[in-house]
Amino acid sequence: MERLLEGKVAIVTGGGRGIGADICRVLSENGCRVVVNYSRAEAEAMGVASETGGIAVRADVRAQGQVQEMVDRTLKEFGKIDGVVNNAIGGRQHGLLEEMFDQDYQDMFEFSTKAVLNTVRAVRPTMRENGGGRIVNVVTELWNLAPGGWSVYLSGKGAMVGISRSLANELGPEGITVNMVAPGWMVTETVDASSEVSRKFGESLPLRHHGSA
């Protein structure tokens, strides 16, 4: 099987579990050396790093200094950075307006905007020096569906959409592409695909089943 990313190096934020962990696995299967970023899920991140032959690096992506330290370590270990997948998220993501607090919106804003800006600022110099790179931001299909009860989540992801579009034009001339991936409710180790809610969601889709992370 052709390994599309042979010799490449990528950082995956929030790579210890959920969709992030499967992103790390797919990258590794295609020959990419992976940096599994985590903030709290140390055991899970270490497991993914061991499984993929990568390294696990702790960093709160909302903190510029910690992100820079992660980038510096990646360069020390692998000598370059070809890509970053901005996947990390935390805090409350769902609830009616009267149930949510200002801090909930602030959390979403920081994970979806500040974290993205932190990683892009940290990797841009080395990517520019090496002739380019890839930034992939994980957004959401809910941006188009806009259901009630998701205003806190969409306040952050909507901003990520805008940042991604603008940075794509700004960084493109440097050979750095910025793209978005908008997954739906994918099956991971955190999803009980046999539950009634999950089953009904799967049946609502054209293929009548969940997607796989």
Catalytic residue positions? 153
Q: How far apart are CA 151 and CA 154, in angstroms?
A: 5
33 DSSP β-pair partners: 9
Residue 33: count other Cβ atoms within 10 Å of its Cβ: 21
**DSSP characters over the chain:** ---TTTT-EEEETTTTSHHHHHHHHHHHHTT-EEEEEESS-HHHHHHHHHHHT-EEEE--TT-HHHHHHHHHHHHHHHS---EEEE----S-----GGG--HHHHHHHHIIIIIHHHHHHHHHHHHHHHTT-EEEEEE--THHHH--TT-HHHHHHHHHHHHHHHHHHHHHGGGTEEEEEE---SEE-TT--TTSHHHHHHHHTSTTSSPEE-
